[in-house]
Structure 1
Amino acid sequence: MRITKKLIVAGIVSVAATGGAVYATAAYASEAAQPLPAVAPKVTAEQAIGIALKQVPGSWVSELDFDSRGQQADVWELELTKGAERHEVDVDAASGKVTKQQADQDDDDQNDDGDDGDDD
């Protein structure tokens, strides 16, 4: 936002010096740098969270991403945590249907070698 304001200020100063040609170029450049607005999904983030929480009761959402997949259906990708389990749930952004549900044990707090650290 600040960059756009700086370009406009710089453009206004340039208008006084060049008669408007540089201002038009600066304004066009700032508009061209803006990404095209994405089409809003039919299923909102709040709705996707509600759907995922129904799939994994008693969990909480630890991550939420919107994945625009081009030719494939857009999905909300959610990661839920319930105790020591992490669940990945994908919710179709158009229909609200769950397209993927996977549970993984959270290994961050566990040793894979079976050694509990005691030398007894």
Structure 2
Amino acid sequence: MRITKKLLVAGAGVVSLIACGGAAYATAATAAEAAAPAAPKVTAEQAIEIAHQQVPGAWVSELDFDRNGTAADVWELELVKGSQRHEVKVDAASGKVTKSQVDDNDDQDDQDDNDDD
């Protein structure tokens, strides 16, 4: 009779450990899913189309997605048209252009003090 009680107590302990482990795993999986960042509403292709509307006839030389934490996530694009580089930032949630800047391409000569690399 004593052996049966010991087996029941041990069995209950094992079941309890398994149940707690399963609950801990489920909690960890839920936390990982909650922490996973959501995909941007504006896709990379849409960001490229928006940038091409801003700078028609240019080609995209760089495309980066920046998660900014508390600030809005943005697509950063660098476009080249002729000898000019255009930097365009597109809000990843709304698709609005948040920055559009033109830089002369300074990679061609060493005639000034600007970095040519």
TM-score under structure 2 length normalisation: 0.65
1:67 is the counterpart of 2:66: yes
One-letter code of the match for 2:102? A
Question: Which AA in structure 1 matches 2:58?
Answer: S
| Mapped partners of 1:38, 1:60: distance in 2 | 29
Partner of 1:44 in structure 2? 43
- Is the radius of gyration larger for structure 1 or structure 2? 2
> 1:103 offset after TM fit, Å?
0.5
Partner deviation per Cα, 1:54-81 (whole Å, 9 max, x = no partner): 1000100000000000010000000000
The offset of 1:112, in angstroms, is 1.8
**What 5-or-longer segments of structure 2 have no aligned partner?**
1-24, 113-117
Quote the Cα distance in structure 1 between the aligned partners of 2:70 and 2:39: 16
The corresponding residue for 1:103 is: 102
Q: Equivalents in 2 of 1:92, 1:58: separation in Å?
A: 22
Instruction: Encode CA deviations 1:88-107: one digit per residue, 9 max, x unaligned.
Output: 00000000000000000011
Q: Distance in 2 between matches of 1:85 and 1:79?
A: 10
C-alpha separation in 2, matches of 1:70 and 1:82: 32
1:83 and 1:102 mapped to 2: Cα distance? 15
Could you tell me the percent identity over the aligned residues?
A: 69
Structure having the larger proportion of residues in helix: 2
Residue 54 of structure 1 pairs with residue 87 of structure 2: no
RMSD: 2.2
Shift of the alpha carbon at 1:43? 0.4
Aligned length: 84
Distance 2:107 2:48 in 1: 25
Give the TM-score normalised by structure 1. 0.63
